[in-house]
Structure 1
Amino acid sequence: MSLKFNWFLPTNGGDGRQVVGGGHGVDAGPAGRPVTVPYLGQIARSAEQLGFESALVPTGAWCEDAWVTTAMLSQVSDSLGFLVALRPGLMSPTLAAQMATSFQNLSRGRLLLNVVTGGESAEQRAFGDFLDKEGRYARCDEFLTVVRRLWDGETVDFAGEHVRVEGARLHQVPHKRPEIQFGGSSPAAGLVAARHADVYLTWGEPPAAVGEKVRWIRELAAQEGRELSFGLRVHVINRDTSAEAWAEADRLLSGIDDAAIAEVRAGLARSESVGQQRMLDLSGGTRDDLEIHPGLWAGIGLVRGGAGTALVGSHEEVANLIEEYHAVGIDQLVLSAYPHLEGAYWFGEGVLPVLEQRGLWKRPVAA
């Protein structure tokens, strides 16, 4: 299977020449480049020209709204898909299904959904959601059940513990059902992913650990009579030589303040996300021993919530590491860099041609 590659849109203002912290309940650090439609459009157009298939757009009080932002960016780009973060529980499933249908049909099939159940209760309460973590996953299960049935053109009557609709129906259904991507490391997350996801996303742990997650979700999906694809969310630092790439990692690390490390780590330690705790364990909170697997660097996670690791090395070395992940079941990657615009070119012009020569990637045909 040919690998797919997706990029990231820094709608949190999280772009610049240094690592920008924040996320998962932690305030974002200062960034060097503001969020504007012209700049985000520049990233989107560059990504689609380089061969990336979609762009992940985050969600939270710390960034611009994903739906509004991508609706604007769909008009300044041609073929790039938008992996829009959706939080079940902050709107009705019927409205969510209708919004997704409108976006999908009007953008010519360029919507993908990253379902974010919510790992931080404090942030959820700020949006008016007072369920605990287990309740949020139970509601997500019901929510996605209704949404998927509506996309199939059904008239839905549903009375669950958290979701209730009567006579729900879409007068317009999506010409192509939006792909659902889903992440989470807890047992409850695994069950929801197995029942509803098309792609299971995981953060950049060492290949052996990622392989264990792939096997776990595959077994759960098989029990549901389903098959999933698997994606990896990770940063990348690739250069013409290994020495240049590691020098860039060292430069990024030198721009991280010790006080910021302590402050961010204290905030992230309160996270209810199992995946976030796994990311924290990888970095250890110190500047030492950050290469946790050959070519896999945990320095980003010292100050950034969520994805905290990066693939580091020459173009060929990064391609080799991607092959390792592919061997344990990864079908696609969601990548980012600092800064995002230049990073897209480094990867698109450096690593993608190597993977193409190896028969592992083929440039997508524009929709």
Structure 2
Amino acid sequence: MSIQFIGMIGHRLASEIIPATGPIFDKQYIADFAKAHENAGFDRILVGYASDQPDGFLVTAHAGAHTSRIKFLLAHRPGFVAPTLAARKFATLDHLLDGRLAVHIISGGSDAEQRRDGDFVAKDHRYARTEEFLQVIKKSWYASQGYDHKGEFYQAENAFSHIKPHQSHLPVYFGGSSDDAIRVAGKHADVFALWGEPLASAEETVKAVKAEAARYQRDIGFSISFRPIIGRTQEEAWAKAEAIRAKAKIQIEKSGYHFGAPKPQSVGAQRLQKAVELGDRLDDNLWTGIAALVGGGYNSTALVGTADQVSDTLLKYYELGIETFLIRGFDPLNDAIEYGKELIPLTRQKIAARQQATAQHQLPEAHAQW
């Protein structure tokens, strides 16, 4: 498996430890943030979705205009744009980016968040809607003639899109941890995205999703998200983690804003809460300090240590079949630059060395069979 690194860009400088600064749509920051990821060796960058934030299509288009190689992952929630139109929007954006787009489909884990945008569909129906949304999207992307669709949530008559994705296959990433999410992912997703969980629970999810995909004779990839905290020594890294916790606690208390938490309906958030209950430090260097502060509301678990120690941990997840790592820091722009100096190249080197050793080991066995 090849290894992929995904970063995440925002539309202005802000994090759990940095109060939001600058205009709400900071064009220069978006451009600089995207270029920093490209220069640091990331493969792709995620543009998120929130009901009160700037439009992700335009953030992605602007970032794409200031980069040339790095790919993009645009988060999208079904329910607000008709799938026939969404398909054309995605395809058009993929042409604008010269085939650098993937979409990350999120059904929504909070009724309150969904209702801000006018969506009152209950959570247990949102995955059914998502599945139908993806069915229609793919028809528009790949059908060579007009089609009719009559479903529970969408209807279309002689629908057709003249603009197809620039790529022969536009990748679909999928978020969600419930049984319904796994069912839909197994049928439609190219990559299933996990938040940063302990090794044992991550392995369980990988096995469950693979089994579901196998029902449809499909292969599926996996991504996992962490917030690496890197120090020159292990002690320095853990001191940074504690400083981040202290700053985040103060900022949350002052602002009352919990960065998307809590999400009581989200199974992913519930899984992170269970990890929090297991302890502050899990496995070798998985830290749940910020996840505890925000109620597990999003990808908030960290890997703490030197670049060498964190890369070793990433390799353990890689051995589970997870080949994509979404990493973002608490000092977003500076951490992205820092990851590119050692963590990303070091992890790639270790994976390459491991693959070479495996190939050399298999070669004598193949000769023996001859």
Q: TM-score, normalised by structure 2?
A: 0.88
Return the match for 1:31 from 20, 36, 40. 20
- Partner of residue 164, structure 1: 155
Report deviation, 1:12: 6.8
Equivalents in 1 of 2:338, 2:103: separation in Å? 27
- Partner of residue 9, structure 2: 9
Task: Render the CA deviation track for 1:326-358: whole Å, top value 9, x for unaligned.
Answer: 011101011100211111122111112222332
Equivalents in 2 of 1:240, 1:247: separation in Å? 11
1:12·1:64 contact (CA, 8 Å) conserved in 2? no
- Partner of residue 242, structure 1: 234
Report deviation, 1:70: 1.1
- Partner of residue 324, structure 1: 316
| Runs of 5+ consecutive residues of structure 2 not aligned to the other structure | 354-370
- Partner of residue 280, structure 1: 273
Equivalents in 2 of 1:33, 1:106: separation in Å? 27
1:295·1:312 contact (CA, 8 Å) conserved in 2? yes
More helix as a share of residues: 2
Equivalents in 2 of 1:146, 1:37: separation in Å? 33
Report deviation, 1:258: 7.0
2:5·2:344 contact (CA, 8 Å) conserved in 1? no
Output the amino acid matched with 1:38.
Q
Q: Which has the higher contact order (CA 8 A, sep 6+)?
A: 1
Aligned length: 348
- Partner of residue 344, structure 1: 336
- Partner of residue 360, structure 2: none
| Runs of 5+ consecutive residues of structure 1 not aligned to the other structure | 21-29, 362-367
- Partner of residue 191, structure 2: 199
Task: Render the CA deviation track for 1:247-289: whole Å, top value 9, x for unaligned.
Answer: 1101101213379479778x945521110122223234xxx94
Q: Decide whether aligned partners of structure 1 residues 270 and 115 sit closer, same or farther in structure 2, where only a CA change above 3 A counts.
A: closer
| Percent sequence identity over aligned pairs | 33
Matched position secondary structure for 1:312? strand
Equivalents in 2 of 1:196, 1:143: separation in Å? 11
Whose radius of gyration is greater, 1 or 2?
2
1:218·1:227 contact (CA, 8 Å) conserved in 2? yes
1:200·1:229 contact (CA, 8 Å) conserved in 2? yes
Equivalents in 2 of 1:270, 1:81: separation in Å? 29
Output the amino acid matched with 1:321.
T
2:61·2:96 contact (CA, 8 Å) conserved in 1? no
Report deviation, 1:295: 0.9
1:108-123 mapped onto 2 (5 Å cutoff) = 108-123=98-113
2:12·2:22 contact (CA, 8 Å) conserved in 1? no
- Partner of residue 65, structure 2: 75
Equivalents in 1 of 2:347, 2:210: separation in Å? 26
Task: Render the CA deviation track for 1:155-177: whole Å, top value 9, x for unaligned.
Answer: 22111111111111111211213
Report deviation, 1:115: 0.4
Q: Decide whether aligned partners of structure 1 residues 165 and 231 sit closer, same or farther in structure 2, where only a CA change above 3 A counts.
A: same
**What is the root-mean-square deviation in Å for CA atoms of aligned residues?**
2.4
Output the amino acid matched with 2:309.
E
Which has the larger displacement, 35-44 or 195-204? 35-44
Return the match for 1:19 from 2, 17, 20. 17
Matched position secondary structure for 1:5? strand
- Partner of residue 125, structure 2: 135
Task: Render the CA deviation track for 1:158-199: whole Å, top value 9, x for unaligned.
Answer: 111111111111112112132110011111101111111100
Equivalents in 2 of 1:156, 1:199: separation in Å? 27
Equivalents in 2 of 1:259, 1:168: separation in Å? 49
Report deviation, 1:290: 1.3
Equivalents in 2 of 1:205, 1:195: separation in Å? 23
Q: TM-score, normalised by structure 1?
A: 0.89
2:17·2:251 contact (CA, 8 Å) conserved in 1? no
